[in-house]
Amino acid sequence: MNRNRLLRRAVTALAVAGLVLPVAACSSSGSGGGSGSGDTGASKSADAATPLDPKTKVTISIDCQPPTTKTAERKEWAEDIAEFNKIYPNVTINSKDASPCEEPPKFTAQLQGKTQTDVFYSYFTDLQQVLDAGGAADITAYVNEKTVPAFKDIDPSVLATLTDGGKLYGLPKSNYKMGLLYSRSLFKKAGLDPDKPPTTWDEIRADAKKIAALGGGVNGYGDYSATNQGGWHFTAELYGLGGTMVNEDGSKAAFNTAEGKQVLQNLYDMRWTDKSMSAAQGLKWPDLMTQMAAGKLGMYIGAPDDITYMVQTLKGDYQDYGMGPMPGGKAALLGGDDYMFKAGSTPDQIKAGIAWINFKYLTMGKGQFNYSRTKADGLPVGLPEPFFFTGDSLAKDNQLKAASATVPVANYAPYLSVQVPGKTEPANAQQIYKVMDNPVSAVLTDQHANVDKLLSDAETQVNQVLANLQ
Amino acid sequence: MAAITVPGKAAHGLDPGEDGTPRRSRRGLAQKVRRNLSAYGFLLGALLCFGFFTWYPMVREVIMSFQKTKRGTTTWVGMENLQRIFNDPAFWQAWRNTLLYTGLALLLGFAVPFVVAVVLNELRHARAYLRVLVYLPVMMPPVASVLLFKYFYDPDFGLFNHILAFLHLPTSAWLNSTSTAMLSVVIASTWMNMGGATLVYLAALQTIPGELYEAAELDGAGLLRKIWHVTIPQTRLILSLLLLLQIVATMQVFVEPFLLTGGNGPQGSTTTVVYLVYQYAFNFNNYGSASALGLVMLLVLAGFSAVYVRLSRETD
């Protein structure tokens, strides 16, 4: 064998190794997803109901660590882990940062690849898809007054979103009820009282007209109508008027009613009769926040954390934004986020995860409820979320929040003073919302839109979609 | 001209025997394999990459088209996923929209680059500068280009309506109307992608011998007749190839409508088949139906390609 041939073979071997190894590396990384289960195998807890033994050595991975761009929140996360480790010195938390905490397409792919973290972030509406993918562990036996002392005070409607067939699959992190977000500065400019936001659609129409009359590209009211968010907002507005999207068992559409018609008619009238809405439609999150932060939008339906986004990301001012109750006041769409526990986790991993969630998100004076620290770090205190607590925990929360408030709490008084009952999103929400984008976008883009026909067509289509899912 | 020889390989491709005559044997085959080991080694890397990242996902897609996953358990469901997508009211609308997009994209995206290439080819000055200018949009990130057009299309503050108003022409709702949304998407898409096609046409045009044009001129042909009788016949092969590639590419359109209209557009007027696949997979968490729809798309495109190949063979 001559030297050339030897050289050629050596080069070939290196080339092949160079190509194969990354492939092998890639494939091996995709098969895991969980972490740290190895060091707990020997110490299986016999009794799920008992809290984690502080001596237990266990490693868990958790996502939704604040990103490096959110310096203060990230610092607090690290501080909380350090404090948690004083109680549980043998629990190792591997944090995974993400912003936003969940991107639905990526989340779906993670579930399919089973690459979610041991304790993973999700939205209230994700439970069914998580269960369909076999992605979450049943934690019913692990949660009680010893492991989560404030559990009894959590709003049952919030827990219902994390429960399926009587089994609990997650614990809440935060939640919201939708309401009317409005620009206090535009209200003042239009001669409206910023402390008395409209509570009915007739009042919204009247105020929107006045705000739009300011000119200079200012619109009175805005709404989403793309990427299934038109359907989402239609649902919120329908709930406010007392309507519902589907019947009791979720098998048929139930929105082709006087309330459903009123939702579309309101939008049509504001867009074409009053011209208090923009000609540029097809809006999706966060377009409305961008418009309001730029001082070009008077009102829209949203959640309290939109205010945080407008201030922290879009450099708005807390003084400029107010929040009122959901127009109609019959019910407010309820949403939020939570943590679930990866299926296949060891009992000790689940216990450690619950101990962390309890410390970070469910204990007054600790973690997210450590308002004095939040204030010292220059982060907002006083926004009306989370508010999943009732009873003693709620009273304590209000007391602590008031003591450290940094945002103009009075701006949210109209929202907090009216107790609108929360209503969760329908099952198969995204499929329904996709259909409902059509009538919402139609009334906002077609001056000759026929509301009755649009609702009737949407009803037929939703019934078709729901029948398809049975 | 010097002959190009491959070391260790006879010109006729067979191993020479001891007596100098070619012979086929197992030993010869083994020698051949040993000789080409380097080539097989390099090929193996490519095969593994294609296998992992292209062929395996394709096979999985076909399998998943007939499966359903519920509560973590995957079962075979026969034609259920296909029935589901055929019963989806958005299915036929998505196909109509996709075909409309393909038709409009061919009308604009096929003809415009060809005309631009012919014009560039005829120019005597600033040719290189204009070539760069035409190709520039291709170098821009697609998201940036699309968002640029989104601002241009704004009915209130957009550039296009400003120009139309300045010229005292009626303005348009662009992306906000069912009648103009898809056309607006096609215009943006054509602007973004025409640079590549123009350069290919230009290269093809420059291979046409100048004598043909001279002969045509002597016969009294004007510009249009020269294009019809010389340019088009001489570039027919490249035109056909680009036509096929363009149809395959445009039928898979996703990015432009997704970014310009959020995917659906007014009343679903820009919902395309690939966007529907995306919705099924990532919004509805229904990988079975997403795979089934992808499979239908694959079959349609494969069928189209087969018909095209047959037709071109017949014409040749």
With CA atoms as reference, the chain A residue closest to B43 would be A16
Residue A158: inside a domain, yes or no?
yes
Q: What are the distances in angstroms from CA A417 to CA A188, A363, A395, A414, B34?
A: 22, 25, 15, 5, 84
Q: Mind listing the pLDDT tens digit for each residue in A290-315?
A: 999 999 999 999 999 999 999 988 99
Residue A137: inside a domain, yes or no?
yes
Report, as an integer, the average pLDDT of A224-252: 96
In A340-412, alpha helices (H): 347-361, 371-376, 391-404
Q: Do A282 and B261 touch (CB under 8 A)?
A: yes
| A–B interface: beta-carbon pairs under 8 A | 133
Q: How far apart are CA A303 and CA A177, in angstroms?
A: 6
pLDDT higher than 50, residue A16 = no
Least confident of A186-195, A327-336, B43-52, B230-239: B230-239
Of A307, A249, A280, nearest in space to A426 by CA:
A249
To probe the interface with B, which of A116, A437, A463, A466 has the most B CB atoms within 10 Å? Answer: A437
Query: Strands A297-302, A219-221: parallel, antiparallel or unpaired by DSSP?
Result: parallel
pLDDT higher than 80, residue B313 = no
Residues A273/A206, Cβ–Cβ less than 8 Å? no
To probe the interface with B, which of A108, A169, A234, A425 has the most B CB atoms within 10 Å? Answer: A108
Cα dihedral angle (A119, A123, A124, A129), rounded to 10 degrees?
-80
Is A158 found in the same domain as A68?
yes
**SS3 call for B272:** coil
Q: Mind listing the pLDDT tens digit for each residue in A158-177?
A: 999 999 999 999 999 999 99
Is A204 found in the same domain as A144?
no
With CA atoms as reference, the chain B residue closest to A285 would be B262
Tokens 């000790």 locate to: A348
Output the pLDDT for position B22: 52
Q: How far apart are CA B181 and CA A317, in angstroms?
A: 36
For residue A203, the enclosing domain spans 179-331+413-469
Output the pLDDT for position B173: 92
Of B261, B257, B249, B263, nearest in space to B297 by CA:
B249
Is A303 found in the same domain as A184?
yes
Q: How far apart are CA A452 and CA A261, in angstroms?
A: 7
∠B275-B278-B279 over CA atoms, to 5°? 90
Residues of B in contact with A28 (CB under 8 A): none
Q: What are the residues whose beta carbons fall under 8 Å from the beta carbon of B90, sequence distance 6 or more?
A: A434, A435, B268, B271, B276
For residue A105, cis peptide bond before it (omega within 30 degrees of 0)? no
Residues 327-366 of A with CB under 8 A from B: 343
Residue A154: inside a domain, yes or no?
yes
Comparison of pLDDT for B315 and A280, the residue scoring more: A280
CATH of the domain at A354: 3.40.190.10
Provide the whole-model pTM.
0.81
Q: Do A281 and B176 touch (CB under 8 A)?
A: yes
Residues of B in contact with A109 (CB under 8 A): 282
Q: What are the residues whose beta carbons fall under 8 Å from the beta carbon of A468, sequence distance 6 or more?
A: B84, B87, B88
A111 touches chain B (CB under 8 A): yes
Output the pLDDT for position A455: 97
- Give residue B67's region: left, alpha or beta (phi > 0; psi -120 to 50): beta
Selecting from A26, A428, A445 the residue whose C-beta is nearest the C-beta of B176 gives: A445
Is A343 found in the same domain as A316?
no
With CA atoms as reference, the chain B residue closest to A128 would be B71
Is A419 found in the same domain as A294?
yes
Is A457 found in the same domain as A324?
yes
Q: Do B38 and A16 touch (CB under 8 A)?
A: no
Model confidence band, residue A34 (pLDDT cutoffs 50, 70, 90): very low
To probe the interface with B, which of A122, A281, A340 has the most B CB atoms within 10 Å? Answer: A281
What is A105-167 written as a DSSP string?
HHHHHHHHHT---SEEEEEGGGHHHHHHTT-B---GGG-STTTSTTGGGB-HHHHHTTEETTE
* DSSP one-letter code for A61: E
Q: Mind listing the pLDDT tens digit for each residue in B79-101?
A: 999 999 998 889 999 999 999 99
Model confidence band, residue B305 (pLDDT cutoffs 50, 70, 90): confident
Is A284 found in the same domain as A424?
yes
Output the pLDDT for position A17: 36
Of B280, B299, B303, nearest in space to B290 by CA:
B280
CATH superfamily of B83-315: MetI-like (1.10.3720.10)
Terminal-to-terminal C-alpha distance of chain A: 69
Q: Mind listing the pLDDT tens digit for each residue in A251-274?
A: 999 999 999 999 999 999 999 999
Residue A203: inside a domain, yes or no?
yes
Helix axes B80-87, A451-469, angle to 10 degrees: 180
B42 touches chain A (CB under 8 A): yes
Output the pLDDT for position A14: 39
Distance from CA of B97 to the nearest CA of A (A): 15
Q: Mind listing the pLDDT tens digit for each residue in A272-296?
A: 999 999 999 999 999 999 999 999 9
Is A244 found in the same domain as A105?
no
A23 touches chain B (CB under 8 A): yes
Residues of B in contact with A467 (CB under 8 A): 87
- Give the phi and the psi of residue A91 in degrees, each rounded to 5: -95, 120
With CA atoms as reference, the chain A residue closest to B72 would be A134
Q: Do A111 and B156 touch (CB under 8 A)?
A: no
Could you give the number of structural domains in chain A?
2
Report, as an integer, the average pLDDT of B216-234: 89
With CA atoms as reference, the chain B residue closest to A440 would be B267
To probe the interface with A, which of B285, B287, B293 has the most A CB atoms within 10 Å? Answer: B285
Distance from CA of B316 to the nearest CA of A (A): 41
- Domain ranges across chain B: 26-64, 83-315
Residue A377: inside a domain, yes or no?
no
Q: Mind listing the pLDDT tens digit for each residue in B154-171?
A: 998 899 999 999 999 999
Output the pLDDT for position A18: 37
Q: How far apart are CA A331 and CA A197, in angstroms?
A: 17
Q: CB burial class (10 A; 0-12, 13-18, 19+) of residue A340?
A: buried
B6 touches chain A (CB under 8 A): no
Is A311 found in the same domain as A292?
yes
Model confidence band, residue B314 (pLDDT cutoffs 50, 70, 90): low
Is A122 found in the same domain as A98?
yes
Model confidence band, residue A7 (pLDDT cutoffs 50, 70, 90): very low
Residue A198: inside a domain, yes or no?
yes
B170 touches chain A (CB under 8 A): no
Beta bridge partners of B76: B67
Q: What are the residues whose beta carbons fall under 8 Å from the beta carbon of B91, sequence distance 6 or more?
A: B85, B276, B293
Distance from CA of A432 to the nearest CA of B (A): 10
ipTM of this complex: 0.75
Q: How far is CA B182 from the centre of its chain?
A: 18
Of A50, A398, A279, A432, nearest in space to B177 by CA:
A279
